[in-house]
Amino acid sequence: MDILLLILGGCLMLLGLIGSFLPILPGPLTGWLGLLVLHLTDAIPMNWTFLGVTLGVALLIWVLDYIIPAMGTKKFGGSKSGAIGTTIGLLIGLFSPIGPFGFIIGAFVGAFIGEMMHDSKDTKRAIRASFGSFLGFLFSTTVKFLVSMVFLVLFISKAYDNWSLLIG
């Protein structure tokens, strides 16, 4: 059973990394579930302090993920339409043939289109606001990815330290 939980936890950790880039999947929270599953094995003792602190970090990042792009958009004079456009552009960009650059370009173009729909007369403001929305998205994604990577390192470290108990 421990091997199955280890594999499930590893899959959740990988989904957490992927979720750092996808707005649909909460990356750090999914990675935290991987840590929880690892602690459900018989080989690794339940550490409530560790799980509580990492859950607190994951929840904080989840909340900030909604605040940071909006702050970037507002800082550069954007509207809610720009923030919505960023998300839509990101989702469309995921399926583009240019790989990971698709969602980066999609986020910027989506923000620009959203801003132009909000105020079609001011192209300069739309570009500035879409740049702010794009910067907020990049910053938020970077923070989510870093936290997910830390969770993955913790997962690997705990699994490695208890490897003989996990497979034995």
50-63 pLDDT, tens digit per residue, is 999 999 999 999 98
Distance CA 125, CA 95 (A): 28
Length of the chain: 168
pLDDT digits 0-9 by tens, 55-87: 999 999 998 887 777 777 778 877 778 878 877
Supply 11's token pair.
């899959």
Distance CA 15, CA 24 (A): 11
Is a pLDDT exceeding 90 seen at residue 144?
Answer: yes
**31: which residues sit within 8 A by CB, 6+ positions away?**
12, 13, 15, 16, 17, 19, 58, 147, 148, 151, 152, 155
Backbone phi, psi, residue 50, to 5°: -60, -50
